[in-house]
Amino acid sequence: MLLTAAEEDIEQFRTQLQGEQPSLMYTPLERYQTLQEDEKITEAIEDLQSYENIVHGSKRNAQYFIEKVKEADRMEEARQCLNLAVDQYAADYLEEAGIPAIHPQAQGKAVNLLEFMLRVRRLGETLYPCGDKTNEDLPGLLRELDIPVHELILFTLEGPTQAELSRYKETVMANQPDIVIFHSRRSVNRILAAFPDLNYSEPIIITGDQAVSDKLEKQGINVHEQANGSWASILDAITEL
């Protein structure tokens, strides 16, 4: 089974996949990298005391935020804010880093955290650490309720090095996958560009959602299983095969 998402995005998925068949052929075509020497990041970190909430939409977002806060020696200021995490993985990471964190006991959905914020009346200025190419639901939901939110872009998404890509091509062409997972619309471009000689009519094609399926079908690639936009639903699609 060919999978190409960034390591940070599939940590839970890979843990849940252990013991399942077929085995995983992992060739990450996505890699997150921290932004350096950014004035907007510096200003936001130095002004943490002006935010009532810091919302962490994923463990990855929390990791890059803590990295920047430690560099600026602002951990104590970060502790003074209410740190909210969408899921247990992000909350656990923050706790291990020394930041008390709260998250609703739910399925890690943005709407659950929003409902929690409304219930505890935490509607003040909110800082939302994120990346420049990640699809985050919560900032938009907050804005719909006129809750002030500042998306703090801390990292960007890059591809593998040329040497890594060459190794991936050798691996994939030597081991024709039985299943190919197109987890996002972005992955369609990256997979087709990285492995142009792969015969996509042979493996079972699993997509992350309808938009991914539509994009593949425009490329003439048939979709066999479609998830509903989460890694948990992709795992369900694999289990059903």
Contact of 196 with 50, CB cutoff 8 Å = no
- Where do the domains of the chain lie? 2-30+160-240, 33-157
Contacts of 98 (CB under 8 A, 6+ apart): 75, 79
Q: Is there a shared CATH topology between the 2-30+160-240 domain and the 33-157 domain? A: yes
Tokens of 145: 């309720």
> Radius of gyration over alpha carbons of the chain, in Å?
19
Closest-CA residue to 195 (of 212, 216, 180): 180
Give phi and psi for 84, each to the nearest 5. Answer: -110, 135
Question: Of the CATH numbers 1.20.58.1610, 3.40.50.10090, 1.10.630.10, 3.40.50.720, which one belongs to the domain with range 33-157?
Answer: 3.40.50.10090
**Architecture of 2-30+160-240 per CATH?**
3-Layer(aba) Sandwich (3.40)
Q: How far apart are CA 196 and CA 14, in angstroms?
A: 26
Q: SS3 for 224? A: coil
Per the structure block, which two tokens stand in for 130? 């994120």
pLDDT in tens, the chain (241 residues): 999 999 988 888 888 887 666 788 999 999 999 988 788 999 999 999 999 899 998 899 999 999 999 999 999 999 999 999 988 889 999 999 999 998 877 666 777 777 777 776 767 789 999 998 777 888 888 888 888 899 999 999 899 999 999 999 999 999 999 999 999 999 999 999 999 999 999 999 999 999 999 999 999 999 999 999 888 899 999 888 7
